[in-house]
Amino acid sequence: MMNNEMDTEAPLQHTKKIWAVGGGKGGVGKSLVSANVAICLALMGNKVVAVDLDLGGANLHTCLGLPIPQMTLSDYVSKKITNFEDLLVSTPIQNLKIISGAQDELGMANLKHMHKNQIIRKLTELDADYILFDLGAGTAFNTIDFFITADKGILVVLPEPTSIENTYRFIKSVFYRRLKMVEGVAEIEPMILESMNAKITSGAQSSPADLIKKISEINPEVGLRVKAEMAQFRPNLIINQVRSQADIDIGYSIQSICRRYFGIEMTFPGYLDYDQSVWQSVRKRKPLLIEYPNSKLVNNFDRIVHRLIEY
């Protein structure tokens, strides 16, 4: 076992599908994507639970047109309630329920390892076809671990330099978190740390992809385990607030860089056009796809969700 109380177990096995929506930067539209992907899945007849795991700034309920829920994850962790299913709150959309993140508990943003695993276990026991994790911004261990636990990881990025840079940092953090979960890598930890600290540039001397090759040369057995673990890391990218073809092409560029630098295959299920109905729906506290059924974002989300199901 490595440091930082890492859970070395593989993601939990379950019949339901868990999708996690994350990204390296706040304000890119993670809650918007989580809410409307959940709505699309529910309208297709699936039982869906959307879970606000942005424990330091939960606002998924607003995107779904709900007031602040009476009970949140902090009430379960603090044992104010003992039945996890009491956290489920119905939404205006049939088949869709929400579990809200913490509202007032300052310590919830730094969730203990034990509580994190307990929450994951309880979530996998819920009666649902799909569970959507709406994650907080940044690369905190809890955020990364929730992302890794999911069957499908979705990254939301804006077509601007700061968002793109933070997306690469997020991918890098997930990459090394998964790497450290592999049995037998402790003996080459100095090499891993050196690669982790290297900057993400096209002329980098030691990329994560190069690191995997070196591990295979030093210890072929561990190398095979590393390759098997990283083969499961296939994040999905959504570009938000697209205004031009150049913005769309950023998705393909990120795909290409991830393949060369990280040695991972990223999928690009689609993009979301810039649309003023987004902020209008937030101001009205109404679900976007319900309040603005003629918005071009309806087709955007429909295409993205169908591709995510296929991938």
**List of domains in the chain:** 17-157+275-305 (3.40.50.300), 159-236+245-269 (no CATH)
**pLDDT by residue, tens only, the chain of 311 residues:** 333 333 434 444 447 899 999 987 788 899 999 999 999 999 999 999 999 998 767 789 888 888 888 888 888 888 888 999 999 999 989 999 999 986 655 555 567 788 888 999 999 999 999 999 999 887 788 889 999 999 999 999 999 999 999 999 999 999 988 988 888 777 777 777 777 776 665 444 578 888 888 888 888 998 899 999 988 999 999 999 999 999 999 999 999 999 999 999 999 999 999 998 888 888 888 888 888 888 999 999 999 999 999 98
Rounded Cα distance between 185 and 171, Å, is 19
Contact 34, 54 (CB under 8 A): no
Burial of residue 146 (CB within 10 Å: 0-12, 13-18, 19+) is: buried
Rounded Cα distance between 260 and 206, Å, is 12
- Strands 236-242 and 130-135 come out as unpaired
Task: Classify 23 in phi/psi space as left (phi over 0), alpha (psi -120 to 50) or beta.
Answer: left
pTM of the model: 0.88
